Amino acid sequence: MASTYDYISETASKYFGTDFPENALDKAYVVQREINLATAMTDLSVTTAFASGDSLLCIDVPANTWVPAVFLENRTVTVSVGMTYDVGDGDDPNGFIDGITSTTAGWSTNFLTTEYSLAASGGKVYTTADTIDVYMQDATSSNGVFVLTAVMVDVS
């Protein structure tokens, strides 16, 4: 059975303090998280590997926030066993990014054809708090490093 791992609650205060993004002075800001899957496994007490269907909650989205763009960059390419990632939220697991593989270095963005893409719908406005999540697809993975970046605008 697939599992959901809350990496935000486990690590957020280490990186952002307890009042982020409330301490931001501007309404527009960028949130970036580097996710090392081996470290995440340790932090979350995952004993074997992340499996197909698992989700990793990565970035908190406050209520009344517009997210026009999300990017994922593979920093460490996994050569032997590749994992495919989708990036979305609880409403649409691949709403931002559909199918970036861990065997390819570089960036994937949401500017093309996903449901929340800038071109298709102008991003997504969250009226209630949510999270941007990475969904593991079609393989297991215990290694790999990627950076998840979200552009956010407070619309309250």
Position 127 confidence tier, pLDDT thresholds 50, 70, 90: very high
pLDDT score of 138: 73
Strands 4-6, 55-61: parallel, antiparallel or unpaired by DSSP? parallel
Is 14 in contact with 137 (CB distance < 8 Å)? no
Q: List pLDDT tens digits, range 62-119.
A: 999 999 989 888 887 765 566 788 899 989 888 888 877 777 776 776 555 666 766 5
Query: What is the extent of the structural domain holding 150?
Result: 4-154
Please say whether the dihedral angle defined by the alpha carbons of residues 92, 60, 53 and 90, taken in this order, is positive or negative.
negative
The total of other beta-carbon atoms located within 10 Å of residue 139's CB is 17
CATH number at residue 142: 2.60.120
77 φ, ψ to 5°? -80, 130
Looking at the 3D structure of the chain, how many domains does it have?
1
* Cα 116-100-106 angle, rounded to 5 deg: 105
Amino acid occupying residue 108: S
